Amino acid sequence: MYLAANESMIQLLEEAYDYFGDTVEVAIYVTPWPWFGKYEDGEIPVWVLGTKAGRNYAYAWKFATLALVGTNTPITVVCLPVKSASNLDRVVDRLLRFATAKFDIDWVYLDSEFYQGDVANNVRSEADFIIKGKKGSDKLQEIKEEMLEEDKEWDASHVQPGFTCSVQA
């Protein structure tokens, strides 16, 4: 139902108002939805994951969301459940396949949950991207070396641990 309504809205905005232009920018991020409780045996559901320390809840369902940004009104295009951090590359692939069927994507912005090699490889094949590095991550150097080996442009002039870096395809 959500996808059908969204499809109609996107079609109307594009046809009647040329709202999106030639290319779009998208943001992909993870949104936790708090979950409280346990089964009678003390277990938690498979799709419920632990959260960061300091939140008012210990468990949450997590959803990866792709939204159009850089427009007058950000629009959530599609949202998929995340079963574990290990399947984020497949989730990003599905989000991008859905979005590229409707839009010509110029830039993809990803939050630090997606700071892993397979995700970067999926995004690199579709568009230029910016991904927030995890605080204190030592993988930044590995990604830089990989990009340089593939003759890709590397711009890390303002990168510090925990901040955004730019890798261009």
Angle at 77 between CA 75 and CA 80, to 5 degrees: 130
Work out the average pLDDT over 28-33: 89
On the 0-12 / 13-18 / 19+ scale of CB atoms within 10 A, 150 is exposed
The reported pLDDT for the residue numbered 157 is 43
- pTM, two decimals, is 0.71
Runs of H (alpha helix) within 53-168: 88-100, 117-124, 139-149
Distance CA 129, CA 80 (A): 20
The reported pLDDT for the residue numbered 134 is 66
What lies within 8 Å, CB to CB, of 169 at 6+ separation is: 124, 125, 127, 128, 129, 152
Q: What is the DSSP letter of 37?
A: -
Q: Which of 29, 31, 24, 30 is nearest to 126 (CA)?
A: 24
Q: Which of 26, 155, 54, 51 is nearest to 113 (CA)?
A: 51
pLDDT tens per residue across span 31-70:
888 888 777 787 877 788 877 777 788 888 889 999 999 8
Decide if pLDDT at 148 tops 80: no
The reported pLDDT for the residue numbered 162 is 44
Decide if pLDDT at 29 tops 80: yes
**Radius of gyration of the chain measured on its C-alpha atoms:** 18
Higher pLDDT, 132 or 7: 7
pLDDT tens per residue across span 99-134:
888 888 888 898 878 777 777 777 877 777 777 766
